[in-house]
């Protein structure tokens, strides 16, 4: 019999998920995404320009790039801003690259036209799974931003060919769990982050033992948990967008 989790969830249960649009009015599209107590502001801004390297190499189409940061008050102990430390945070760089790869996996850059889609993910409150919440919310912000381009007839086709979401899974106390909160993530023997499209294709699977190893069977159990959770997240994303786009 699986041991109940400290927050009362079952092993295969997501935390309460919510999306709130328009959180950053000056962005082209924005969403506040909540995975339980984890909250991330995801904003998408469209710039009618492309990076210099694309111009120099005469690469057609557009580009998407992402930035990620944790606000100083997002954790129990204040997290200094990068500028105050005088150097980039390696973890932030790793995560923003992951967000960018995840969104570009479902974006037809040719259909985007000569535009850059900037994705900014700022963690308002951290309780585990900030990178997975960022990817899940970033897709929604990007989709809302793209709709504005379509409405203004600046592009003729939706460049987002699929949805994308991400979720964590791990082994904590010997038990495979979905969507780890901070206490579970901090002490997990195995930690995984899985990114998947709405059509069920993997974009990225990150899995590592924390002073531990794991078997092929345990890896399969984590993937199965993640796939179940990601199908639910894709459904939640679709419902949210249907409501938002209907209101336009």
| Helix, strand or coil, per DSSP, at residue 215 | coil
What pLDDT does residue 244 have? 93
pLDDT score at 248: 64
Distance CA 109, CA 114 (A): 9
Taking residue 151's Cβ as centre, other Cβ atoms within 10 Å add up to 9
Contact between 136 and 196 under an 8 Å Cβ cutoff? The reply is: no
| Whether pLDDT at 205 is above 70 | yes
Assigned domain for 176 exists: yes
Beta bridge partners of residue 206, listed in sequence order: 193
In a domain, residue 105? The reply is yes
Whether 41 maps to a domain, the answer reads yes
Q: Can you tell me the distance from the alpha carbon of 35 to that of 30, in angstroms, rounded to the nearest whole number? A: 16
Number of domains in the chain: 1
Please tell me the predicted confidence (pLDDT) of residue 131. 97
Average pLDDT, the chain: 93
User: pLDDT, tens digit, for every residue of 9-52?
Assistant: 999 999 999 999 999 999 999 999 999 999 999 999 999 999 99
- Domain assignment of residue 4, yes or no: no
Read off the pLDDT of residues 79-120 as tens digits, 9 standing for 90 and up: 887 766 767 788 899 999 999 999 999 999 999 999 999 999
Within-domain flag for 12:
no
**Cβ atoms of residues 148 and 46 within 8 Å:** yes
Is residue 88 helix, strand or coil?
Answer: coil
Residue 101 lies in a domain: yes
For 28, 42, 237, the CA distances from 23, given in Å and listed in that order, are 11, 9, 17
How many angstroms separate the first and last alpha carbons of the chain? Answer: 48
In 3D space, the residue among 122, 142, 143, 144 whose CA is nearest the CA of residue 133 turns out to be 122
Asked whether residue 36 is assigned to any structural domain, the reply reads yes
- Residue 114 domain boundaries: 17-246
**pTM for this entry:** 0.94
How is 47-62 classified by DSSP, letter by letter? Answer: ES---HHHHHTT--S-
Residue 28 belongs to a domain with what CATH number? Answer: 3.30.230.70
Residue 236 in any domain: the answer is yes
């Amino acid at each position: 019999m699986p041991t109940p989790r400290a927050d009362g969830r079952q092993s295969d249960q997501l935390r309460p998920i919510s999306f709130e649009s328009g959180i950053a009015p000056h962005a082209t599209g924005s969403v506040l995404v909540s995975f339980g107590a984890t909250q991330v502001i995801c904003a998408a801004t469209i710039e009618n320009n492309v990076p210099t390297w694309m111009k120099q190499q005469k690469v057609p189409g557009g580009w998407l790039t992402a930035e990620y940061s944790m606000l100083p008050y997002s954790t129990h102990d204040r997290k200094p801003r990068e500028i105050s430390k005088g150097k980039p945070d390696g973890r932030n760089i790793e995560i923003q690259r992951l967000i960018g790869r995840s969104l570009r996996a479902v974006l037809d850059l040719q259909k985007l036209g000569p535009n850059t889609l900037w994705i900014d993910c700022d963690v308002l409150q951290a309780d585990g799974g900030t990178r997975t919440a960022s990817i899940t919310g970033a897709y929604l912000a990007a989709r809302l931003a793209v709709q504005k381009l379509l409405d203004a007839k600046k592009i003729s086709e939706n460049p987002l060919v699929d949805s994308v979401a991400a979720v964590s899974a791990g082994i904590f106390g010997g038990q495979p769990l979905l969507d780890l909160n901070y206490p579970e993530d901090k002490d997990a023997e195995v930690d995984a982050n899985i990114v998947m499209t709405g059509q069920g294709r993997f974009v990225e699977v990150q899995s590592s033992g924390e002073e531990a190893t794991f078997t092929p069977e345990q890896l399969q159990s984590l993937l199965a948990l993640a796939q179940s959770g990601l199908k639910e997240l894709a459904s939640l994303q679709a419902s949210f967008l249907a409501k938002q786009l209907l209101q336009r």
